[in-house]
Amino acid sequence: MRALPGGARVYVGIIVVSAVAIVLIGPYSGIDLGTLVLMVVLFVVAESISTHVLVDDEKAGISPSSAVALAAVVLVGPAGAAVVGFACCLALRRQILVKRAFNGAQYALAAYTAGHVYLLLGGTVGVPGQSDFPEIVFPYVAAVLTHTLINSLLIGLLMWGLGAGRAAGPRPRRWRPLLALEVTSIGYQMLGLAIAAVWGAVGIVAPLLILLPLFIARWTFGQQIAEARAHEATLATLCQAVETKDYYTRGHCMRVAEGAAMIAAELGMSAERVQKIRYAGMLHDIGKLGVPTKVIQKTGKLTDDEYAAIKLHPTRGYEIVREISFLDEALAGIRHHHERLDGRGYPMGLVGMEIPESARIISVADVFDCLTSTRSYRKAWSVEEAIAELRRCAGTQFDPKMVEALVRAVSREGWQTPDIAEPPGGHYGSTEDTELEGSNAPTSAEPAKRGGDEATKAAESTSAGVVTGGQDR
């Protein structure tokens, strides 16, 4: 916000000036000063305590203070509500001046408009009496909707002004969480009417009664976010712990999680599903734990038995995580991430669209990361080479839709390749002489020269995570 673009600066200026004008003009006739002061104090307190919740990586605040603003609409009319809204800039929190002024002005304008809509539809200013119910509900609801609408509009315009240079790209917006947020916030704002209704009888006690559950809810939301973060951190750490078995696959699970999430988001899935697929990506190789270390680290030719042990790992992984109920459909992604479209994959040899969507996503992300990272027998490929390889295998091994989604997402957001150059000396006992023994292990030097079919198998074998050649069947 430090360097506001010119357009945004003009916009903020206009908003602030018009809000100040409204507050100065009034009219304030017939408004109880004591009520107004109490409302202002209440609003500032509510605004100061409110924190912001993260929804889908976007900061969006729902704050109990808007309930107070709408109570002000009923109790002290449009002008009074504008004053109460403007008091937002007095909130006790660290915020730069421009933002403060804009927030205050934005709330003032929203409350003022809402107040006029309320009056227009037949609402009366002052403490509602018993005769006002239930007729008052209709203008009040209209005021709530107006308030929400104007607020979102003013912020949306500002964001548009700020983000014009950033060009968000064609990434599908996720509306659902935002919608849920709006519904919650409208629920909050209905309480303004409650504050107004009981104001006459019990005065300042009323808002305390109302705001208490809201603050408790906010507090719980905060706890929940903290706990969700803890959950993610724990998952990530445990996955990395599993990876310590193989030096070369360090960070693999996190990158596959990222890649799978990118594909899922590119396909326009809901935030919730994206998150599930991210977790499934993180956990996809956890079944490797069941494969003896010496097989995983073996760099020579694999025997039939050893290869069979490797083929078990998706099923093993599924057995470990199947009790994590929230993963539901993403569990299939772990179980089937080595299936191929042409039915030559394992463990079940599913064909085409029989393979669950999450598995098709993870499989692409998995192989992409394998190709772009160093293995004991070859250097990492460049992103371009890896994409060309994925495209070549689309239709036989991968779902073309997922490959293209990955390509689009990577071209927009880039891809973090691992920076592992060389393993610590002598990490593997037997790497030296067996390194390029396998006939179709891709060589580090010229990946492009390899024969077509062999490349597929190489990709497949790397995706199995087994650092060896000649294991394909």
Q: Out of 238, 348, 388, 420, point to the residue binding other proteins (CB under 8 A).
A: 238
> Smallest distance from the beta carbon of 117 to other proteins, in angstroms?
19
As a whole number of angstroms, the distance between CA 43 and CA 326 comes to 39
Please say which residue, 160 or 215, places its beta carbon nearer to other proteins: 215
Sequence-separated (6 or more) residues with CB below 8 Å from residue 32: 75, 76
Per CB under 8 A, does 201 bind other proteins? yes
Q: Angle formed by the axes of helices 383-393 and 452-463, to 10°? A: 110
As a whole number of angstroms, the distance between CA 173 and CA 403 comes to 21
> Smallest distance from the beta carbon of 231 to other proteins, in angstroms?
5
> Smallest distance from the beta carbon of 212 to other proteins, in angstroms?
4
- Write the single-letter amino acid at 121: L
String marking each residue 432-471 x if it binds other proteins according to CB under 8 A: ----------------------------------------
Per CB under 8 A, does 134 bind other proteins? yes
> Smallest distance from the beta carbon of 192 to other proteins, in angstroms?
11
Quote the distance between the C-alpha of residue 276 and its chain's center.
11
> How many residues form the binding site for other proteins (CB under 8 A)?
67
Per CB under 8 A, does 54 bind other proteins? no
> Smallest distance from the beta carbon of 132 to other proteins, in angstroms?
9
Rule CB under 8 A: which of 211-230 touch other proteins?
A: 212-214, 216-221, 223-224, 227-230
Per CB under 8 A, does 293 bind other proteins? yes
Per-residue tokens: 38: 């109490």
Task: Decide: 236 and 252 in contact? Cβ < 8 Å.
Answer: no
Residue 429 to residues 29, 208, 249, 286, 433, Cα–Cα distance (Å): 89, 70, 17, 24, 10
Per-residue tokens: 415: 């891809």
Tokens 């990586």 identify what position? 57
DSSP-assigned states of every residue in 160-218: HHHHTTT--TTPPP-HHHHHHHHHHHHHHHHHHHHHHHHHHHHTTHHHHHHHHHHHHHH
Q: Out of 1, 96, 234, 308, point to the residue binding other proteins (CB under 8 A).
A: 234
Please say which residue, 10 or 208, places its beta carbon nearer to other proteins: 208
Per CB under 8 A, does 305 bind other proteins? no
Sequence-separated (6 or more) residues with CB below 8 Å from residue 446: none
Q: Out of 77, 85, 259, 287, point to the residue binding other proteins (CB under 8 A).
A: 287
String marking each residue 318-347 x if it binds other proteins according to CB under 8 A: -xxxxxxxx---------------------
Question: Which range touches other proteins (CB under 8 A), out of 71-79, 106-114, 206-214, 360-368?
Answer: 206-214
Quote the distance between the C-alpha of residue 215 and its chain's center.
24
Tell me whether strands 58-60 and 53-55 are parallel, antiparallel or unpaired: antiparallel
Per CB under 8 A, does 42 bind other proteins? no
Per CB under 8 A, does 290 bind other proteins? yes
As a whole number of angstroms, the distance between CA 143 and CA 140 comes to 5
Per CB under 8 A, does 190 bind other proteins? yes
Please say which residue, 298 or 340, places its beta carbon nearer to other proteins: 298
Q: Out of 7, 30, 200, 268, point to the residue binding other proteins (CB under 8 A).
A: 200
Per-residue tokens: 327: 């993963």
> Smallest distance from the beta carbon of 278 to other proteins, in angstroms?
14
* H/E run at residue 365: helix 357-371
As a whole number of angstroms, the distance between CA 261 and CA 281 comes to 8
* H/E run at residue 58: strand 58-60
Question: Which range touches other proteins (CB under 8 A), out of 163-171, 181-189, 252-260, 389-397?
Answer: 181-189
Binding site for other proteins (CB under 8 A): 128-130, 133-134, 137, 184, 187-188, 190-191, 193-194, 197-198, 200-203, 205-206, 208-210, 212-214, 216-221, 223-224, 227-231, 233-238, 240-242, 244-245, 286-287, 289-290, 292-294, 316, 319-326
